Amino acid sequence: MLQEHVLSGRYRLISQIGAGGMGQVWQAVDQVLDRPVAVKLILPDRIGSPQVMARFRREALVTARLAGHPNVVILHDFGQEADPSGGPGTVFTVMELVTGRPLTRVVREDGRLPLGRAATLVAQAAARLDAAHKAGIVHRDVKPGNLMVVERGSGAGTLKVLDFGIATLTEAGRPERITQTGEVIGTPLYIPPEQIRGERVGPAGDLYSLGAILYRLLTGR
């Protein structure tokens, strides 16, 4: 993906600001509304994977379902652009651009956090997860890298929970997820024992992960 590429004739990519196993995140500009945004793309070589596509759509659906919560990244758009040369094309989501640091950087650069600051940040994450759980959503990958602290603008000090790509979504009281029983997915330092065993994870699993994060914030390790 080249810089200055314009998706759907609207979103001009400026610079890559993140990457993972499934895709890339770019700083971009919405040329219609003249505002900065973040664009998340599926890597071209992963578009052919039904599981990756399902996770990407799931993340967009979950983010949209939780719209309006102060600790939720706002989803603006979801789309797909065909490749004129016949390639796999581009699948993307457009979100608000959050200016801040993930908790991984906060701990690395600031060291152990004072009790009050750690409690404030974790309480915000807990409120966000509580809203998700009440909506039938279990995150399953709560870790410092998925908790972003906003450091500029009117929302400075707000914590945003990111990346619902492997979330479990419950419909009509029945858990629906993309991974299979016995498949371990998540970040080893923070996932609960039942997730390590490949079993189903409920809301308590997210809270276990949040407790592990609080431990790291207070001890620095």
Q: Which residues are catalytic?
A: 141
Strand partners, 21: none
For 134-159, b where at least 16 C-beta lie within 10 A, e where not — what string? eebbbbbbbbbbbbbbbeeeebeebb
Contact 163/59 with Cβ under 8 angstroms?
A: yes
Which pair of tokens denotes residue 23? Answer: 């895709």
Which pair of tokens denotes residue 149? Answer: 């602290």
> What is the C-alpha separation between 147 and 210, in angstroms, rounded?
10
> What is the C-alpha separation between 65 and 87, in angstroms, rounded?
32
- Rounded to the nearest 5°, which phi and psi values hold at 79? -160, 175
